[in-house]
């Protein structure tokens, strides 16, 4: 995966483009709801916290450890949130999708699934990777349900896995989608966003 390349991903519903430092103003409104950050590793619901979040994401791209995107809702014509590739291991043909959040106004609209369609399609069809991982806080049942509904398989729990807010270490639930599963998921769960089903 080329971290220096500007990757643009688009379907009928969502546009993902690389995160820029100048996106802070566009992200401030959708990021403002404290409920979005209840189970995340860091918060971004204040201007200083959002600035730190964006700076860390951009530093991750410079270090080739994270590729952050802005999520744009094409129906509303607005920036809705952000998502990233991370834990990219080319020699093992695997990566993770995470650091995903969308503003409250855009939840339960299909936008998250449209964004996941783009990220999965690029990982499996353009990068030819074999495995995509997703992880979430064990307390975040909403996120776990969303991962199951998009066809990801729950693999297990990493106990005391990562430090998170409040000075605690969280248990992390790991999900995955593997390459042999993608063709069926593309046609079914993500079919509404796939204009190249032929």
* pLDDT (tens place) for every residue of the chain, 198 residues total: 999 999 999 999 999 999 999 999 999 999 999 999 999 999 999 999 999 999 999 999 999 999 999 999 999 999 999 999 999 999 999 999 999 999 999 999 999 999 999 999 999 999 999 999 999 999 999 999 999 999 999 999 999 999 999 899 999 999 999 999 999 999 999 999 976 543
Q: What is the pLDDT of residue 196?
A: 54
Q: Pairing mode, if any, of strands 131-137 and 94-102?
A: parallel
Integer Cα distance of 48 and 43 in angstroms: 10
Q: What is the pLDDT of residue 77?
A: 95
Integer Cα distance of 45 and 183 in angstroms: 37
Residues in a beta bridge with 157:
173
Integer Cα distance of 163 and 185 in angstroms: 33
CA of 44: how far to CAs of 57, 69, 135, in Å?
12, 15, 19
* Assigned token pair, 43: 């918060």
3-state DSSP assignment of residue 164: strand
């Amino acid at each position: 995966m080329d971290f220096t390349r500007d990757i643009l991903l688009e379907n009928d519903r969502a546009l993902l483009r690389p995160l820029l430092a100048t996106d802070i103003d566009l992200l401030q409104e959708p990021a403002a709801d404290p409920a979005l950050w209840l189970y995340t590793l860091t918060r971004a619901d204040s201007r200083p916290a959002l600035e730190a979040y964006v700076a860390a994401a951009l530093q991750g791209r410079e270090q080739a450890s994270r590729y952050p995107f802005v999520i744009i809702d094409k129906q509303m014509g607005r920036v809705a949130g952000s998502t990233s590739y991370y834990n990219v291991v080319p020699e093992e043909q695997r990566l993770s999708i995470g650091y995903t959040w969308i503003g409250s106004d855009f939840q339960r609209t299909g936008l998250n699934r449209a964004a996941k369609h783009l990220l999965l399609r690029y990982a499996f069809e353009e990068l030819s990777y074999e495995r995509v991982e997703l992880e979430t806080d064990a307390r975040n049942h909403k996120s776990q349900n969303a991962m199951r509904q998009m066809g990801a398989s729950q693999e297990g729990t990493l106990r005391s896995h990562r430090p998170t807010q409040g000075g605690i270490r969280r248990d992390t639930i790991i999900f995955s989608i593997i390459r042999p599963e993608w063709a069926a998921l593309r046609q079914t769960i993500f079919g509404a966003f796939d204009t190249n089903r032929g």
